[in-house]
Amino acid sequence: MKLKMINQEATGFGLRSQVGGGANIAPLPAITMIRETDSIVGQNIVGRGNDAFNIVETLLNLSIRVVSVIPITGLGGLGKTTLAQLVYNDPKVHRHFDKKIWICVSQNFEVRLLFKLVLESLTKKKVEMESRDVIVQEVRKELEGKRYFLVLDDVWNERFELWDDFFFFFGWNQHYKGKLDSFDNS
């Protein structure tokens, strides 16, 4: 009797039973879209002044010819994104780098998509191009001779071959004046 009532209530809420399970259920949006972060600092952030200061100082003193990576790691909810946001928005960081790029990586990613996000962030325009080669050529144009700061937020994926593939591009810039700093936020 109770089950019947629950069933009726469920119907009232618009819930329907599905035969055949998953196949009929619309796929969830890509996980990146659900949890995408941005570079805007939240309100009422407390107690991270020192941590942010230390990272900023490190960033400002890094060798210009080296691709440097600063990882921020820890459990979810610990404040990694928040710390990265504080650093990203620090006026000294803003002045020091010619270009700043924030991309949210999340669980599923393709290297080509990362380059696309980098290019979108640099040009502030939707990137229609699909070819990886065309995209990276554009990224190269944007970054050539520039000192840049790249935040990779929400890195979960540990497939090193993908990261090697991604960072290889930035290694190219070492011979010029470019510079990469990133947060591995896993």
Q: Residues 6 or more apart from 186 whose CB is under 8 A from it?
A: 71, 73, 154, 155, 156, 158
CA 68, CA 85: separation in Å to the nearest integer?
18
The sign of the torsion formed by the CA atoms of 172, 173, 179, 180 equals negative
Q: Considering the complex, state which of residue 81 and residue 173 has its C-beta at the smaller distance from Mg ion.
A: 81
| Minimum distance from residue 121 beta carbon to ligand ADP (Å) | 19
Nearer to ligand ADP, 45 or 69 (CB): 45
Residues near 2 by beta carbon (within 8 Å), at least 6 away in sequence: none
- Examine residue 20 and tell whether it contacts ligand ADP (CB under 6 A): no
> Which positions from 38 through 77 interact with ligand ADP, judged by CB under 6 A?
42, 44-48, 76-77
Q: Give CA–CA dist 48/31, Å, rounded.
A: 28
Measure the CA–CA gap between 83 and 39, rounded to whole angstroms.
10
> x-or-dash pattern for ligand ADP, window 80-99, by CB under 6 A?
xxx-----------------
Least separation in angstroms between residue 39's CB and ligand ADP is 12
Residue nearest to Mg ion as judged by C-beta position? 81
Among 32, 55, 56, 81, contact with Mg ion (rule: CB under 5 A): 81
> Are the CB atoms for 100 and 88 separated by under 8 Å?
yes
State which residue, 38 or 110, has the beta carbon closest to Mg ion.
38
The site partner of 145 among ligand ADP, Mg ion, none (C-beta below 5 to 8 Å per kind) is none
Q: Site residues (CB under 5 A) for Mg ion? A: 80-81
